């Protein structure tokens, strides 16, 4: 029996082609749909992209998660991000790396064992992790998962370049209206209040904007500050901007949808 051959590299779209197509995307959802089509040509099964703080993983959040619903719920409920060696691997590599790199690295063998066992149960054999430095312990992150064998060096290059383009494009739209998993368990109203504080709203102005009482507005602001472990409102806003859940564009303050 003749062994089936994998598609040639020429049959796969290049990172340059993805970049060009990406310029036509006008929101996070269309970016994710385009990226899903692009990575499928490289036998990528699922992916996720977001922002992580290695010194406080509870502040991590996702722009988009293309995971099976059962795995997504388990990952969030079990707080795997706090002990995920794939995320922690960014601290050691700071450049694109694969799951096989982690398995070969003795520093990560013990911590990786449980997560890799769980991923194997879903049929996932390898993955590519693409970190993008944001400053300090914060990184943009794209994680791609494959069921097939190891990705070739050329495939890793195209996927890494496309991942960096994806993160830059998604971040340019400002914070998503809805987060697949909020950092530190922030509620929707706490995020709304945080974004309004970022442009100088007082508690009274936040209350009027969100059609809630001033006391409730203050509670939302303080709840966000505590969850982000910030000492002041200014520090809270700075953390939100670093993570990408707050920016100074006007679109984030459309509270008509709140």
**Tens digit of each residue's pLDDT (9 = 90 or more) over 139-186:** 999 999 988 766 789 999 999 999 999 999 988 887 666 666 667 778
- Please compute the mean of the pLDDT values over residues 100-127 and round it to a whole number: 75
Q: How far apart are CA 131 and CA 142, in angstroms?
A: 7
Rg (CA), the chain: 20
In this model, does residue 258 exceed pLDDT 50?
Answer: no
Measured distance CA(101)–CA(6) in Å, rounded: 23
Domain 183-257 in this protein, CATH class: mainly alpha
Q: Which has the closest alpha carbon to 150: 184, 125, 171?
A: 125
Per-residue pLDDT at 209 exceeds 90: yes
> pLDDT digit string (tens) for 30-70?
999 999 999 999 999 999 998 888 888 877 788 888 888 87
- Mean confidence (pLDDT) of the chain: 83
Report the interhelical angle of 15-22 vs 28-40 (nearest 10°): 160
Backbone angles phi, psi at 50, to 5 degrees: -175, -155
pLDDT score of 198 more than 50: yes
- The answer on pLDDT for 252 being more than 80 is no
Rounded-to-10 torsion of CA 157, 162, 164, 170 = -170
What are the residue boundaries of the structural domains of the chain, listed by start? 14-172, 183-257
Query: What is the structure's pLDDT at 32?
Result: 94
Q: What is the 3-state secondary structure (H, E, C) of the chain?
A: CCCCCCCCHHHCCCHHHHHHHHCCCCCHHHHHHHHHHHHHCCCEEEEEEEEEECCCHHHCEEEEEECCHHHHHHHHHCCHHHCCHHHHHHHHHCCCEEHHHHHHCCCCHHHHHHHHHHHHHCCCCEEEEEEEEEECCEEEEEEEEECCCCCCHHHHHHHHHHHHHHHHHHHHCCCCCCCCCCHHHCCHHHHHHHHHHCCCCCHHHHHHHHCCCHHHHHHHHHHHHHHCCCCCHHHHHHHHHHHCCCCCCCHHHCHHHC
CB neighbours of residue 175 within 10 Å:
24
Over 60: is that where the pLDDT of 253 sits? Answer: no
Q: 70-76: which pairs have CB atoms within 8 A and are 24 or more residues apart? A: 71/122, 72/180, 72/181, 76/181
Superfamily of domain 14-172: Transcription factor LuxR-like, autoinducer-binding domain (3.30.450.80)
What pLDDT is attached to residue 250?
46
> Do the two domains 14-172 and 183-257 of this chain adopt the same fold?
no
Are β-strands 138-146 and 126-135 bridged in parallel, bridged antiparallel, or unpaired?
A: antiparallel
At 1 the pLDDT is 38
Closest CA to 173 of 20, 26, 19: 26
| Residue 16: predicted pLDDT | 96
Burial category of 223 from C-beta neighbours within 10 Å (exposed 0-12, middle 13-18, buried 19 and up):
middle
Q: What is the mean pLDDT of residues 68-77?
A: 77
Q: In the predicted model, is pLDDT for residue 111 greater than 60? A: no
Select, from the ranges 35-44, 74-83, 119-128, the one with the highest average predicted confidence (pLDDT): 35-44
């Amino acid at each position: 029996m003749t062994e089936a051959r994998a598609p040639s590299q020429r049959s796969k779209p290049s990172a340059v082609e993805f970049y060009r197509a990406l310029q036509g995307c006008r929101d996070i959802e269309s970016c994710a749909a385009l990226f899903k089509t692009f990575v499928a040509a490289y036998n990528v099964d699922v992916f996720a992209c977001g922002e992580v703080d290695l010194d406080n993983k509870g502040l991590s959040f996702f722009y988009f998660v293309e995971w099976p619903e059962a795995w997504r719920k388990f990952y969030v409920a079990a707080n795997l991000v706090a002990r995920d060696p794939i995320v922690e691997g960014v601290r050691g590599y700071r450049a694109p790396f694969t799951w096989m790199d982690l398995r070969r690295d003795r520093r990560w063998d013990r911590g990786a064992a449980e997560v890799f066992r769980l991923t194997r149960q879903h049929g996932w054999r390898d993955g590519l992790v693409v970190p993008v430095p944001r400053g300090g312990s914060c990184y943009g992150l794209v994680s791609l998962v494959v069921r097939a064998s190891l990705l070739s060096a050329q495939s890793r290059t195209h996927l890494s370049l496309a991942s960096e383009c994806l993160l830059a494009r998604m971040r340019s739209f400002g914070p998503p209206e809805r987060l697949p998993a909020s950092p530190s368990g922030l509620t929707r109203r706490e995020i709304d209040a945080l974004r309004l504080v970022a442009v100088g709203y007082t508690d009274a102005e936040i209350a009027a904007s969100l059609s809630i009482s001033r006391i409730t507005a203050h509670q939302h602001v303080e709840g966000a500050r505590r969850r982000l472990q910030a000492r002041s409102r200014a520090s809270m806003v700075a953390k939100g901007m670093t993570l990408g859940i707050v920016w100074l564009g006007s679109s984030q303050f459309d509270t008509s949808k709140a």
